[in-house]
Amino acid sequence: MSIQESLKIVGKGEVAWLEWDLMGEKVNKLSTPVMTRLKEVVAELKASKYKAVVLISRKPKIFIAGADIEEIKKINSKEEFTKVLTQAHEIFSALEDLPMVTIAAIHGACMGGGCELVLACDYRICSDSNDTKIGLPETKLGIIPGFGGCVRLPRVIGVEAALDIILQGKAVDGRKAEKLGLVDACVPTEQLESFAAKMASEKVAEGGRKRQKVYAPRDLPSKLKSSALGRPAVFFLAKRAVLEASKGFYPAPLKALEVVHKTHGMRNRERALAIEGEGFAEVATTAISKNLIDLFYMMEAVKKQTGIDNKAIKPLPVKHIGVMGAGTMGGGIAQVAADRGIDVRMKDINNDALALGLRHAAEIFGKYMKRRKITKYDLDEKMSHISGTLDYSGFKTIDVVIEAIVEDMNIKKKVIAEAASKCRPNAIIATNTSSLSVTEMAEAAPHPENFVGMHFFNPVDKMPLVEVIRGPKTSDEATATIFDLAKKMGKTPVVVKDGPGFLVNRLLMPYLIEAMFILQDGMAVDVVDKYYTHHFGMPMGPYRLMDEVGLDVCIKVVKIFHKSLGDRIEVPNLILNLGESKRLGKKSGRGFYLYDHKGKQLSVDQSIYAELKLKAPTNPLSEKECVERGVFTMINEAALALIEDRIVESADAVDLAMIMGTGFPPFRGGLLKYADSLGTQYVAQELEVYASKCGARLKPSQPLLNLAKTGRKFH
């Protein structure tokens, strides 16, 4: 790869075009060789007689994707980070100080270091393409903008708007960027280059003067927030929002806020950049940052995967899908498909059911419109992709049918056989089941090679995971097609082998069962839930999660597990007592908690203890025991699922599925990364202690013991 050819100056009269096209790479990124070349180019421009410089990418959908994350991951010392960042600051400052006008012409992703690069330019213009996104996603990787973003962005768009982007790791499209003042103009894609050339010529004609403009608030509220009196309130509210969203588990947003607060208004640019560098080095060396970067790589890996090992087999194109069952789940599946431009034909047995599914999809799009993510025109266009039927009209042209009816094996088999008879022989039929055997269900399909599980998590529009369940007869082609369809729907797919609970529910059920034993031991519902949320970092505790899933569903799945796995699944009496109660969880307004008519959680329903034949809670167990018994039972089951039963192929797959399917704290890296951080020996030893105290269900599994004996890790 010629780094000189990747970043070169093309002279056009008095204007230099600085063209970016990293040879041998799909994206432009700011790696060490690229930064070295940029330093040379800036020095060459400084010594030249050009009056203006236009920065432009020759990649079709990428301006600059950002810094080289692999390099960030490999650095472990603050000293090394400080050295790298100091060099980067010098290069960007040299760009900012060039004697001629600098213009960034942005088309495609301009993220992280790419955004920080264009902030060092005098002017920025961008295309109106959907591919154009400008932002600073660093906090999502557990780091902060380190190439000047914390210093320059507030100066360009104001503190409030800058904090909104930096703290949330957001990206904005071209129109929003123009509204914020992040770019000077958003123009049609085909006009970007000519517009940049015209702007450069105009600036040259004006004498090539550097831009002196800094952020100037346009209205009274903005002026107040930017004033000496208003700024403290902006920082106070931003900190409160960060703590509310992160519960203090993620140090990067707080560090970014601190850096912006310290450097805003500072006239000494070098000192401000040094403060930013110190903050970056502090958070980038944490285990949290390394875990979040690992998660980023897991997500990137999914984008490149097909769900099968045979790379010669490609997924079939899917333009039309059918959804059997138009309830909340069916309507949710239809919505995420229609949102990506896929035509959906929903089928149910009566008009009321169809109306429910259509209404649910429309309500989700309505929420998007309320948040100004889409317009009324967008809503109507997206809903036009969904149609309904009481018969099978239109199913002959469908590529994939997703069955999403009641969790009853006999009913599912009947519907699958019926649907198959109405579709093309090569149509793929997928079942959205959370617990029933895909292998048994495939018996009803005339072409079992075209039958596969596609397990969405509820609510479909919010939960990113889809388990692609491969039965013994499922073909590579069907697996790859459903894997690809899940990605097109904006989901993160993980291929799993058929088995009780597949992967996520198999690990989750022992955790929820253990929560019932902990309740039986005298703990209070809200105390235990708080241990898991405020202290461990789960999005919700086990009892709140059971309410969300539905207590009737939980009981049904526990019974299926017990039937499949036998004595390995010990069912507490509380489960039976819960089954006798009328409470169903959030959907009925009463579970472990009470809920209002909008489904908002209220207080714990104190009558739950007496109804489950329990004494008033005395909270005799420590936080450590409550959390470890729940989490370690998931690790124990994961060892069996991964090593013995090969439900999935890697520890990464377990971690990704648990983060995306249950909200397991990303900053801990995933279930098995967390186990590795503690050590398998420690996990096994603690389980032995809990087993001696609480029962054989907590004994460490043989695969876990084998790892512990030799000090090995899951990863």
Asked whether the bond before 464 is cis by omega within 30 degrees of 0, the reply is: no
The residue assigned the tokens 């797919």 is 493
Listed in order, strand segments (DSSP E) in 92-246 are 101-106, 109-111, 123-127, 133-135, 171-173, 185-187
Cβ–Cβ under 8 Å, residues 199 and 125: yes
Cβ–Cβ under 8 Å, residues 712 and 640: no
Paired residues of 171 in beta bridges = 135
The three state secondary structure string of 453-479 is EEEECCCCCCCCEEEEEECCCCCHHHH
Q: Using alpha carbons only, what angle is made at residue 386 by residues 384 and 387, rounded to the nearest 5 degrees?
A: 105
329 is written with which tokens? 């789940």
The three state secondary structure string of 646-696 is CCCCCHHHHHHHHHHHHCCCHHHCCHHHHHHHHCHHHHHHHHHHHHHHHCH
Considering only CA atoms, which of 498, 512, 435 is closest in space to residue 468?
498
Number of residues assigned to the chain: 715
**What Cα–Cα distance (Å) separates residue 44 from each residue in 18, 40, 87, 101, 197?**
11, 6, 17, 15, 21
Per-residue burial over 415-429, b if 16 or more Cβ lie within 10 Å, else e, is bbeebbebbeeebbb
The three state secondary structure string of 64-84 is ECEECHHHHHHCCCHHHHHHH
Q: How far is CA 283 from the centre of its chain?
A: 21
DSSP character for 399? S
Identity of residue 644: E
Q: Which residues contact 577 (CB under 8 A, 6 or more apart)?
A: 611, 612, 613
In angstroms, rounded to a whole number, what is the distance separating the alpha carbons of residues 703 and 642?
A: 9
Paired residues of 104 in beta bridges = 55, 124
6 is written with which tokens? 């990747």
Instruction: Specify burial of residue 221 (Cβ count, 10 A radius: 0-12, 13-18, 19+).
Output: exposed
Three-class SS state of 574: helix
- Quickly count: other Cβ atoms within 10 Å of residue 55's Cβ: 24
Three-class SS state of 428: strand
- Please write down the long-range contacts of 270-278, taking CB distance under 8 Å and 24 or more positions apart: 270/89, 270/93, 272/151, 273/89, 273/93, 273/148, 273/151, 274/86, 274/89, 276/85, 276/144, 276/145, 276/146, 276/148, 276/149, 276/150, 276/151, 277/81, 277/82, 277/85, 277/86, 277/89, 277/146, 278/82
210 is written with which tokens? 């550097």
Active site residues: 455
**What Cα–Cα distance (Å) separates residue 38 from each residue in 1, 30, 87, 207?**
16, 9, 11, 26
In angstroms, rounded to a whole number, what is the distance separating the alpha carbons of residues 55 and 75?
A: 29
- Quickly count: other Cβ atoms within 10 Å of residue 287's Cβ: 13
